[in-house]
Amino acid sequence: MPHTHVDTGSALGIHKGKDVVCMSDVGFSYDGRPALEGVTLHVEQGTTLGIIGPNGGGKSTLLKLALGTMPPDKGTITIEGMSPKDACSKGNVVGYVPQRHTLDWSFPITVRQVVELGLYGKKGLFGRFNKADREKVAETLEAVGMSKLANQPIGGLSGGQQQRVFIARALVSTPRILFLDEPTTGIDQAAQESFAALLETVKAKYGLTIIMVSHNLRSVIATCDKVACLNRTLHYHDHPVRLSKDVLFKVFQCDMDAVIDPHTPDSCCGHDHALSPGHGHSH
């Protein structure tokens, strides 16, 4: 299966800056069934990249490989020249916002305590918090608009508030690259718009490179300046408005007319399309 090289810096004639995330010919299989094949992707500093694709297309697998939770079967991944595992444990290189369902929201812990845990990578196993750390936590809560709820147990939060807590936890260690996994799943339209605005704000404030995995095309078009389409292999490139119907059909296996026009209600987003020749292992 041919693979597509994705170069996020080339399309609009922009001077190519430093690549902070580099994936070369990455492949991965679960029990012999390929989930990713020949994925090559270079993400330039300062980009907001959306990775879209159907469920089971390998998006979460790609994230897990980028975060170093498992090594690729084939190919290489580097983050600022380091292995993903080293980059993540350093504490101030990579921030990660996982899907909200990964946490037990009835756990007895406050918003502030969850955000503090994001400093673990910087402080280490026996590290203790000092005044500067507490101020950093307070500043980050302010940046995401959660200061007033800092001492609130996480159990009473809305979906949008939970998302902000996760973002704060990821940002508190001042990372340079932020990965987000399906950040708009399960939150209403107003919260999605609020999330898009928040992402713009924190990107400017922290100078972030953002990589967002989502099956929500509308959200990706609203927030990302570059997009890649993944369905086991990378089919795509470039600016979301330039996504052709052919590419989207190939990736999602359905007619995406409604999605390309952002003013039309999005009837395809989030549907679990039956997959096809490009289908990867369900992840």
Partner 1 sequence: MEYVHVCRYALIAGPLLAAACSVLSVFLVLRGMAMISEGVAHAGVGGMGVALLIGLVLPFMDTQGGWFVVTGIFCTITALVIGYVSRGKHVSEDSAIGIFLVASVSLGVCALYFRRFLHGSAGTPPSLEDILFGGSIASANLEDVYALIALVACVFGIVFSMYKAFVYTTLDEEMARINGVPVRMINVLLLLMVSVAISLGARMVGLFMISALIIIPGATARLMSRSFGRVLASSLVVGVGGVVGSLFMAVLFAMKPGLDRLPPGPIIVLTLFAIFMVVWAYRQVFKVKFRSNVAG
Cross-strand partners of 21: 43, 79
Burial (CB count <10 Å: 0-12, 13-18, 19+), residue 130: exposed
CB of 140 to partner 1, least distance (A): 15
Q: Which of 81, 156, 207, 262 binds partner 1 (CB under 8 A)?
A: 156
Applying CB under 8 A, what is the total number of residues that bind partner 1?
39
Whether residue 177 contacts residue 19, with contact meaning beta carbons closer than 8 Å, is answered with no
Quick one: tokens of 65? 């490989």
Q: Decide if residue 283 touches partner 1 (CB under 8 A).
A: no
Cross-strand partners of 227: 50
Separation CA 276–CA 231 (nearest Å): 10
Whether residue 147 contacts residue 141, with contact meaning beta carbons closer than 8 Å, is answered with yes
Q: Decide if residue 123 touches partner 1 (CB under 8 A).
A: yes
Q: Decide if residue 96 touches partner 1 (CB under 8 A).
A: yes
Q: Decide if residue 99 touches partner 1 (CB under 8 A).
A: no
Element housing 16 (H / E): none
Q: Decide if residue 268 touches partner 1 (CB under 8 A).
A: no
* SS3 per-residue string spanning 117-143: HCCHHHHCCCCCCCHHHHHHHHHHHHH
Question: Measured from the CB atom, is 134 or 148 closer to partner 1?
Answer: 148
Q: Which stretch binds partner 1 (CB under 8 A): 88-96, 194-202, 219-227, 275-283?
A: 88-96
Residues numbered 193 to 212 that lie near partner 1 (CB under 8 A) are none
Q: Which stretch binds partner 1 (CB under 8 A): 20-28, 82-90, 239-247, 255-263?
A: 82-90
Q: Decide if residue 108 touches partner 1 (CB under 8 A).
A: yes
Question: Measured from the CB atom, is 164 or 226 closer to partner 1?
Answer: 164
Q: Which of 71, 81, 155, 207 binds partner 1 (CB under 8 A)?
A: 155
Element housing 43 (H / E): strand 33-44
Q: Decide if residue 70 touches partner 1 (CB under 8 A).
A: no
Q: Report how many helices (DSSP H) and strands (DSSP E) the chain contains, helices first.
A: 10, 10
Q: Which residues are near partner 1 by CB under 8 A?
A: 67-69, 88-91, 96, 98, 102-104, 107-110, 113-114, 116-118, 120-121, 123, 125-127, 145-153, 155-156, 161
